[in-house]
Structure 1
């Protein structure tokens, strides 16, 4: 198997001189051995079976390879909920997420209100663009300074403690020492909620289509479509613009916290290796021949 992304694989399939096996290049890569693996799920020129997905999407025809964080997240301890401060970490590295054109799922003044009602604090670690402006000025980089100046810092959000950019170890520490992680809607399907669950921190997953009207969760539009299939104490699915949903989730998190690690079975190392074995041993050449015969 040769694995690439949705840009490199189509390019290779068209390159009969230096990439794909052809009459011109008989030593090239056989087309049936070339796979796409990424989180965009845009498909593959040979069909969706040749597109390996991060999360299960078998009903859409993709092959599920998945991912696993078990091998490294278990290196981090689980801090008992009672030892954690009453804080929730907001997922996002940019204050711009609170302003258009980013999706505005919650009102900016909501965080202060919820904090006043519940005693819960909110933390966020964002990139401070003003620092970049200073760096460019010190370098006498006129073009860089002007570019950075266009993206001056957005105003701080009342009710949120912005602790700035974090190193990887600092970020994990924050996740370990908060009661929950809450999303803002962007980016879609990030890995951080899985890391949080692995250190015993639940995820509050915003849903903007389907939560109250659609029983089939695969049809929901949410920040993390995969985790939308899970329930408390692991995942709290909340409707956008519904402050009461978040208040209810916080109340449940404080009363019945997640007491240990949670890794979905299909994202554990053993399951991942079994899927990898099945993919490697599958007769992809035969499947490609069948598809070609159907086209004739």
Structure 2
């Protein structure tokens, strides 16, 4: 009689339901319960040989922005984390939340051979690398290998003991870090592009805080917006919170609706002719929302080479991820150039665009990069980089 594993009809243990109980089964924001569901599903499929593709490959989420994203936080880092998390779920990987590497180590010790990567914050990873009780070593055989740890670093520059290849970035910084990126495609595609004739003659000013108008990074002369209103017929709207303590020396000619829920922000943005940057916030995801809604972005250039003024590789802009995208999608204007600002506003008004998603920001592109990251042989690459003893980089 053939009693091989392939012919057996395996059933999960009746005691499996006693493990990993959920306190709030209906609460998707409870990361502890999410972990319980993942662990119970993983044990069940292993016991019955029914695991789906990638289910036995575990990703430890030791960066707090993953948990914050499912609880509704919408900072740039949270939006990035939410997109990566969505890609992991789409691909079928088993993801477990942790507050930091210390708590992630608890899960890692359960099934070290199943963990593909650990996402953490760069400072946490750097500290772990110098701590024998954290990183895997000859004296800590169940620690997390440094080559499995990847830092999610929002800004340009390497931030990992192994350098840029283990530093993941939301934007393509062209060789300094490993570009992981994110995508807003799934959500933004649920909103129809507003036809140009149905839009208001308004420009949305990207400003979450009132102090941005008075910071050194503010790129325009104080009279620039008033002159733009007079010369283009466009009005400026925004949604900031007044976080200044003293009366300002000048009042920006903008209609302020205050900080608003994301849906209302998207509604007002999608009915605008352009989204205007004012120096901060840096690398905000909002310009990608705008482009997906058919709204051009005006990107201030803060620094450049005076001898090579149009060399974009030498620019520093509010959103460096968009430096190489051309008009009519992104208008790049040098700091304090009021005439250039007016030309950009007129261009956006007179040359409306359709929905635009940069190729690197599509969902398919993100999925490809996630798979490439998780399925790469990082141990061999780290061994070659470090040229150190094999026991330092055990499997």
2:192 is matched with: 77
Q: 2: CA distance between counterparts of 1:108 and 1:181?
A: 19
Contact 2:173 2:321 in 1 (8 A): no
Which residue, 241, 248, 253 being the options, matches 1:159? 253
Is the CA contact 2:194–2:270 (under 8 Å) kept in the aligned structure 1? yes
Indicate whether 1:122 and 2:243 are aligned.
Answer: no
TM-score by length of 2: 0.65
Matched, 1:274 2:368: yes
CA distance in 1, matches of 2:232, 2:361: 34
Distance 1:248 1:294, change over 3 A: farther
Q: Which has the higher contact order (CA 8 A, sep 6+)?
A: 1
Check conservation: 1:91, 1:181, Cα contact below 8 A. yes
Q: What is the aligned-residue RMSD (CA, Å)? A: 2.0
1:210 aligned to 2:308? Answer: no
Per-residue deviation, residues 159-208 of structure 1 (Å, max 9, x unmatched): 21112121111111111111100101112211110111111111000012
Describe the SS at the equivalent of 2:122: coil
Q: Which has the larger radius of gyration?
A: 2
- 2:205/2:278 contact within 8 Å kept: yes
Distance in structure 2 (CA, Å) of the matches to 1:158 and 1:11:
44
| Structure 1 position 37 matched with structure 2 position 152 | yes
TM-score, normalization: structure 1? 0.86
| Of 330, 334, 337, the match for 1:242 | 337
Instruction: Find the aligned partners of 2:189 and 2:309 in 1 and give their Cα distance.
Output: 36
CA deviation vs aligned residue, 1:233-256 (integer Å, no higher than 9, x gap): 110001111111011112211221
The equivalences for 1:3-152 within 5 A come to 3-17=119-133, 19-43=134-158, 44-60=160-176, 62-100=177-215, 102-129=216-243, 151-152=245-246
Secondary structure at the counterpart of residue 255 of structure 2: strand
Q: Find runs of 4+ consecutive structure 1 residues off by over 3 angstroms.
A: 152-156
Kindly indicate whether residue 355 of structure 2 is the aligned counterpart of residue 261 of structure 1: yes
Query: Secondary structure of the equivalent of 2:183?
Result: coil
- 5+ residue gaps in structure 1? 130-149
Among 278, 294, 317, the residue aligned to 1:200: 294
Q: Structure 2: how far apart are the matches of 1:199 and 1:159?
A: 25
Contact 1:180 1:202 (8 Å CA) reproduced: yes
3-state SS of the aligned residue for 1:122?
Answer: strand
Q: Give the secondary structure class of the aligned counterpart of 1:11.
A: helix
CA distance in 2, matches of 1:42, 1:5: 14
1:294 shift after superposition: 7.9
Q: Is residue 305–residue 314 contact of structure 2 (8 Å, CA) maintained in 1?
A: no
| 3-state SS of 1:59 partner | coil
Offset, 1:24: 3.3
Distance 2:156 2:301 in 1: 20
Structure 2 residue runs of 5 or longer lacking an equivalent are: 1-116, 390-395
SS in 2 for 1:245: helix
How far apart are the structure 1 equivalents of 2:248 and 2:289?
A: 28
CA distance in 2: counterparts of 1:56 and 1:187, whole angstroms: 18
Residue 232 of structure 1: aligned partner: 327
The CA distance in 2 between the partners of 1:41 and 1:208, in whole Å, is 16
- Deviation of the 1:288 alpha carbon: 0.9
